[in-house]
Chain A
Amino acid sequence: AQRVTQPEKLLSVFKGAPVELKCNYSYSGSPELFWYVQYSRQRLQLLLRHISRESIKGFTADLNKGETSFHLKKPFAQEEDSAMYYCALSGANFNKFYFGSGTKLNVKP
């Protein structure tokens, strides 16, 4: 069955510290992986996706098929990074999306 697991409900770090938000997935096929972010009082929006292999706002994510993981990383966290982060998975046809339960990132000054 398709499943996305985000083991941390809350992650607190100090400004300037590295941050890693964990995401593990289960999917019988070749999935597409995404990270979405929801800032306070804003709509959920795409942060980055695996196939684009891009860095957005200093965040990167590497797909590790052996460990079935897609962890989100940033070397130096900023206060404005505080938000709710969701890892998501889609099959090759992009018809269905599966989201993790989310990790709330709190960057302290």
Chain B
Amino acid sequence: DAGITQSPRHKVTETGTPVTLRCHQTENHRYMYWYRQDPGHGLRLIHYSYGVKDTDKGEVSDGYSVSRSKTEDFLLTLESATSSQTSVYFCAIMPTPTDTQYFGPGTRLTVL
């Protein structure tokens, strides 16, 4: 499993509340990614990081922010959750640019 975990694994929250999802890796790899998976859309990149404090936006970054203060943790925050953010969120790590991505188990988020 490439030493990658996500927490929480399931969360139900209400519209307007802040939510933070955590991705943790034990391998100290440089590249980390957050995706959301929705039927009919596949996986869409939200944000990614290429090092501590180095992050960039993906194709669906609106409404999301990220932080990476330590190599091992990549946090995804929904400042004010909306029902459209109900999804399964996957974190991925990539050791080097020529390596493959390794995915976490996913977090199922439901916004009521």
Tally of chain A residues near chain B (CB < 8 A): 22
Q: Is the CB of B40 within 8 A of A43?
A: no
Chain B, residues 75-90, CB within 8 Å of chain A (1/0): the string is: 0000000000000001
With a CB–CB cut-off of 8 A, which chain B residues contact A95? Answer: 31, 48, 50, 56, 97
Given A49-B100, A86-B43, A102-B42, are A96 and B105 neighbors across the interface (CB < 8 Å)? Answer: no
Q: Is the CB of A46 within 8 A of B40?
A: no
A26 at the interface (CB under 8 A from B): no
Tally of chain B residues near chain A (CB < 8 A): 27
A97 to B106, CA, bound (A): 17
Q: Which listed residue (A46, A93, A97) contacts B45, Cβ 8 A?
A: A97
Chain A, residues 40-57, CB within 8 Å of chain B (1/0): the string is: 000111100101000000
Given A43-B103, A46-B100, are A96 and B40 neighbors across the interface (CB < 8 Å)? Answer: no
Instruction: Select from chain B the residue with minimum beta-carbon distance to A94.
Output: B97
Given A43-B1, A43-B105, A44-B90, are A98 and B100 neighbors across the interface (CB < 8 Å)? Answer: no
A25 at the interface (CB under 8 A from B): no
Given A44-B90, A46-B100, are A97 and B33 neighbors across the interface (CB < 8 Å)? Answer: yes
Q: Which 5 A-B pairs have the closest CB atoms?
A: A99-B43, A94-B97, A101-B42, A46-B100, A44-B103
